[in-house]
Chain A
Amino acid sequence: MNENRLVEIKNLKKYFPVKLGLLKTKNVQAVEDVSFYIREGETLGLVGESGCGKTTLGRTLLRLYEPTSGQILYRGKDITHANMLPYRRKMQIIFQDPSASLDPRMTVGEIVGEAMDIHNLYGSKKERQDKIRTILEQVGLNSEHANRYPHEFSGGQQQRIGIARALAVQPEFIVCDEPISALDVSIQSQIVNMLEDMQQELGLTYLFIAHDLSVVRHISSRIGVMYLGNLVELGESYELYKNPLHPYTRTLLSAVPIPDPRKSKEKKRIVLEGDIPSPINPPSGCRFHTRCPYAMPKCAEETPPFLEHQPGHWAACHLL
């Protein structure tokens, strides 16, 4: 069954040290013991509220952050400590804020071309030009745009440049870290459609990170739900929405406002008490127990194991 796993992580942990005083340091447990795999050609969605570690997970997986412990496998090869340069060509990322992730002093052509320079992806100057032009057209920009600077573009177009930059090295796997949340509503669907087309055309694999559940549901084949550094549920997209197992997933789904007045009036909503606890001092046992409407004494003591409850549907909860 291992043959089509493109990326796999095993017990991945990422802690960030925080200085609390002169001698005291504590760790923020941003990602705590997460394991999953991504099949070739699929989109795995990752949802969760701010501070749940989804972005950290995405970046650690690309080794933009060094993992504290655990393993990262790419096509079955352990890359946890490997030289990343050859893998950077295979694994790329699209960032949330397009204006912050593009160098304001480089032209679009330079931005897109830089990665090609590093990886020697062309034989002649002419070939480089042609490649840049093709990629820009692929993401819906004009070839003349290559000589312009990022600030001359609107938010949606800047995100297209960000995507062109990621595509320049012909990657197999792209981490999309909230690629549309900074964009206007009417532009979001343009970018979502484009990402889907790219996937079809180039056979890409995505890890799609977002807090907007409706978008994640739309684009993903499988979805993982994170809470405070833990992966609490993972399943086929349709199954997860139809039949959520973890109480947190249920609350999260019921909290999403539906743009349909009649349905939203009928809908029963589970409103959670309180806020997300601090990841410096995460609750003992199940991290969700402080807000869980079904918490039992056991939940505060033992960490629930992440088990497969139905074929392909995993969850970590003592209730199950």
Chain B
Amino acid sequence: MENKNLLEIKDLKVSFFTSAGEVKAVDGISYSLEKGRVMGIVGESGSGKSVEAYSIMGLLQSPGKVVGGSIIFDGKDVLAMGEKEKQTMRGSEISMIFQNPMTCLNPVYTIGNQLVEAVLCHEKIPRKEAERRAKEMLELVGINNVEKRMTQYPHEFSGGMRQRVMIAMGLICNPKLLIADEPTTALDVTIQAQILELMKQLQQKINMSIIFITHNLGVVAEICDWVSVMYAGHIIESGSVNDIFYNPKHPYTHGLLRSMPRVDAESHERLIPIEGTPVDMLDPPEGCPFGPRCEHCMKICLREAPPNIRVEGGHTAACWLLARDCGKEGGRNE
């Protein structure tokens, strides 16, 4: 059995134990990621997309706790790892870039120092060698004047440049998987375009896998091969980009796509919003989490959580609407 999946997540459950009660931030999600694939995880704030990424990295902090399921990365069980093992894995095998690069870079060390430290943490090589690698990496992410840049501090870099440094730092130990948590959300569109272009190039060059977490569907269409849509701690739909954008099956996905104004729209059409408010995670509704906001809501939706139903190929959606006629012509299209 050839295992081509780099990452396999099965029924992962993460809860936060707060004074107000248990918050099931991630409530039983499963997916696998093949080598060299770019997977997008889309969802609104509070849907659990970042929490899920933090659990893969072993970076969950109290009161957050993985309460069930498994994470298998490259054949190893991440949840069974000790702190030492996790530390070796982080950076060298999986690395992560964050939304706000300023809070992730240490303001009192030079960029060069921080990059070199990242290398020396994982590999026993001479400092000179590490410095050479750091410079190469900075050039690779498109930073000019590398010699001088190495001696500068984070505040001397602009937002876009800092994000480039973060990417350089993430990639410096040749990880197999890069988790990018809203890496372009804090950036302006023109800078976002630069960073996306860079990530696409690097991904092809190094052939790593990327998990790209974002709430921007435009960015997903641009960079991802595979998409999982999250809502209130569940993956409610998952499929190839074409499946998700041209043949969405879950009413939430459908609603999201419909509610967005598009820059390439031909005429002025009134937006069709998703009514209601996002789920209160302290008191999630019974049954389907999207039920109360869904325009096709049925009785069963408010009672029982829908199973994951296969639409076609790898395209799945968790919705009762598909339960009756799935298997026939690819389910119902509303």
- Give chain A's interface residues, CB within 8 Å of chain B: 49-50, 154, 156-157, 184-190, 192-193, 196, 211, 213-215, 217-219, 241, 251-264, 269, 271-272, 275-276
Please indicate the chain B residues that have their CB under 8 angstroms from the CB of A49 in the complex: 188-191
CB contact under 8 A between A258 and B262, given known A184-B45, A189-B274, A218-B268: yes
CB contact under 8 A between A257 and B242, given known A213-B189, A218-B268: no
Q: Which residues of B from 186 to 216 have beta carbons under 8 Å from A?
A: 188-194, 196-197, 215-216
Q: Which of B192, B197, B270 contacts A196 (CB 8 A)?
A: B270
Closest residue of chain A to B217 (Cβ to Cβ) is A259
B257 near A: Cβ within 8 Å? Answer: yes
CB contact under 8 A between A193 and B270, given known A257-B221, A258-B221, A275-B160: yes
B319 → A minimal CB distance (Å):
17
Contact B263 A193, beta carbon cutoff 8 Å: no
Contact A185 B221, beta carbon cutoff 8 Å: no
Q: Which residue of A186, A192, A275 has the most chain B CB atoms within 10 A of its CB atom?
A: A186
Closest residue of chain B to A184 (Cβ to Cβ) is B44
Contact B278 A154, beta carbon cutoff 8 Å: yes
Q: For chain B, give the interface size range.
A: 35 or more
Tell me, in angstroms, the Cα distance from A60 to B61 when the chains sit together. Answer: 44
By Cβ-Cβ distance, the 10 closest A-B pairs, closest first, are: A257-B218, A218-B261, A189-B273, A49-B188, A255-B193, A189-B259, A259-B217, A189-B271, A214-B263, A186-B274
Please indicate the chain A residues that have their CB under 8 angstroms from the CB of B196 in the complex: 257
Query: A-side binding surface: helix, strand, loop or mixed?
Result: helix
Tell me, in angstroms, the Cα distance from A252 to B192 when the chains sit together. Answer: 11
CB contact under 8 A between A258 and B189, given known A264-B221, A264-B222: no
Q: With A49-B189, A217-B261 given, can you name 14 additional A-B contacts, CB distance below 8 Å?
A: A154-B278, A184-B44, A184-B45, A185-B260, A186-B273, A189-B259, A214-B262, A241-B263, A256-B218, A257-B222, A259-B218, A259-B221, A275-B159, A276-B158
Tell me, in angstroms, the Cα distance from A189 to B160 when the chains sit together. Answer: 29
CB contact under 8 A between A190 and B278, given known A256-B218, A271-B197, A272-B190: no
Please indicate the chain B residues that have their CB under 8 angstroms from the CB of A188 in the complex: 259-260, 273
Instruction: Sample 25 A-B pairs with CB under 8 A, ordered by A number.
Output: A49-B189, A154-B277, A156-B277, A186-B44, A187-B277, A187-B278, A188-B259, A188-B260, A189-B271, A189-B273, A190-B274, A211-B189, A213-B263, A214-B262, A214-B265, A257-B218, A258-B218, A258-B264, A259-B217, A259-B221, A259-B257, A261-B245, A264-B218, A264-B222, A275-B191
B121 near A: Cβ within 8 Å? Answer: no
Contact A260 B277, beta carbon cutoff 8 Å: no
Please indicate the chain A residues that have their CB under 8 angstroms from the CB of B265 in the complex: 214, 217-218
Tell me, in angstroms, the Cα distance from A257 to B214 when the chains sit together. Answer: 13
Contact A190 B158, beta carbon cutoff 8 Å: no
Contact B278 A186, beta carbon cutoff 8 Å: yes
Count A-B contacts at CB 8 Å: 132
Tell me, in angstroms, the Cα distance from A269 to B222 when the chains sit together. Answer: 11
A309 → B minimal CB distance (Å):
22
Contact A186 B259, beta carbon cutoff 8 Å: yes
Please indicate the chain A residues that have their CB under 8 angstroms from the CB of B263 in the complex: 213-214, 217, 241, 253, 256, 258
Please indicate the chain A residues that have their CB under 8 angstroms from the CB of B271 in the complex: 189, 192-193, 218
Closest residue of chain B to A188 (Cβ to Cβ) is B259
B326 near A: Cβ within 8 Å? Answer: no
Q: Which residues of B from 216 to 270 have beta carbons under 8 Å from A?
A: 216-222, 241-242, 245, 255-257, 259-265, 268, 270
Please indicate the chain B residues that have their CB under 8 angstroms from the CB of A261 in the complex: 221-222, 241-242, 245
Please indicate the chain A residues that have their CB under 8 angstroms from the CB of B45 in the complex: 184
Please indicate the chain A residues that have their CB under 8 angstroms from the CB of B161 in the complex: 275
B275 near A: Cβ within 8 Å? Answer: yes
Tell me, in angstroms, the Cα distance from A184 to B47 when the chains sit together. Answer: 11
B80 near A: Cβ within 8 Å? Answer: no
Please indicate the chain B residues that have their CB under 8 angstroms from the CB of A276 in the complex: 158, 188
Tell me, in angstroms, the Cα distance from A211 to B188 when the chains sit together. Answer: 8
B272 near A: Cβ within 8 Å? Answer: yes
Closest residue of chain A to B194 (Cβ to Cβ) is A271
